[in-house]
Amino acid sequence: MRKSIIRISFSCLLVLILALGFYPANFTKISANKSVSTKDLTQNPINKNSDPFDNEGVAAVSTTGITSNFRTWLSANGYSSYDFARDDLSGGSYGGKSSSTDTVVNQPVIFIHGNSDKAVGSAFGQTGWTASIDYFMTKGYKTSELYATTYGPANALLSSEQYHSRAYLTKIRAFIQAVKQYTGATKVDVVTHSLGVTLTRKAIKGGLAYDPLNGGYYDLGPSLTSSVDTFVGIAGANRGLTSCYLTGGTTPTCDDEVGLYPGYTVGLLGPYNVSSYLVDLNSSSRYEGAYIYTIWSTVDEVVGYGSVVWGKYTCQIPGQTSEKVFSTAPYGHFGLKDLTGYYQWRMVKSHATN
């Protein structure tokens, strides 16, 4: 009974966050021993939209799904079973050539969304990559160079049930391979958000994986590191999700095997029982791509606690090249994605953070 109550409470908390878009006050202290700067790090232009909830100016991004040319190619090349198109959703996918003569000039960018989000959209919590795609297009990118698909149910009510499943990992991995093959690119860039960060890191790393609800142990296959130029992880819980402190491993999202459970301490000892999935992700470094960047905030209302897990910033990726950090609203969990098109573009195009 207690687990059921906690499970419901956690689910309701996430739904409330998605529905209200709550941004907490600026943190000036994240632990008894660690302070954070409150310096405004928002000096540079971020996106055409100053308000994360104002979608004016981004309506040009199509929500009709991948192009017919890409659909035909996927079918002819053995990718039909992955349902990258996601026609069951408005905005379930994005990308593809307009015709066989459409040339790909810019290195393709693949966008992987977070928990309960989708490829593109306009509703808060489900804006997907609308703002980012819009920004990239102002910088000369075309639909044939920008790609996104929806890997989950796109339903906030099911947010606590999402985890690093075999289905999600194999779909994301196949999408990266398909886009690279379809475009003829030597390498691709990958931009990820929230749960999409930790999912995609493993999809690229490959190797042995585990899904207790789908056959147990399985092999994802060889690493895709050589196929990725730049990897960008936005607001990812790489060392665990701080809200899982409260729930323990009682929900799939916070599971201590395939979820985001950060573990527990006994006095000064620990953490113990950290998610096996996260232990595997962080057991080696620099496999995500040639360049690895993170974008995160100390006022992330979903990650929480100043983004600190057991004294370390959970949004950082071991061995990362560099990062862009924010410390004030509106750069919370969703603002970090919707308002940082400029930095995403700089990272993938110029390998820079300014």
Q: What is the 3-state secondary structure (H, E, C) of 68-91?
A: HHHHHHHHHCCCHHHCCCCCCCCC
Mean pLDDT of the chain: 87
Q: pLDDT by residue (tens digit) across 196-239?
A: 999 999 999 999 999 999 999 999 999 999 999 999 999 999 99
pTM of the model: 0.86
pLDDT one-digit tens code per residue, 62-106? 999 999 999 999 999 999 999 999 999 999 999 999 999 999 999
User: In whole angstroms, how large is the CA radius of gyration of the chain?
Assistant: 19
Single-letter amino acid code for the residue at 148: A
Q: CA–CA distance from 273 to each of 157, 231, 257 (Å)?
A: 27, 28, 9
In the chain, what are the domain boundaries? 2-350
Residue for token pair 């209200």: 20
The DSSP symbol for 35 reads B
CA–CA distance, 144 with 134 (Å, rounded to integer): 14
Query: Can you read off the two tokens belonging to residue 56?
Result: 């004016």
Confidence check: pLDDT of 47 > 90: no
Cα angle at 252 between 251 and 258, to 5 degrees?
130
CATH superfamily of 2-350: Alpha/Beta hydrolase fold, catalytic domain (3.40.50.1820)
Beta-bridge mates of residue 269: 266
Q: Which phi and psi (to 5°) does residue 181 adopt?
A: -65, -45
Q: Which amino acid is at 295?
A: I
Helix (H/G/I), strand (E/B), else coil: 324: strand
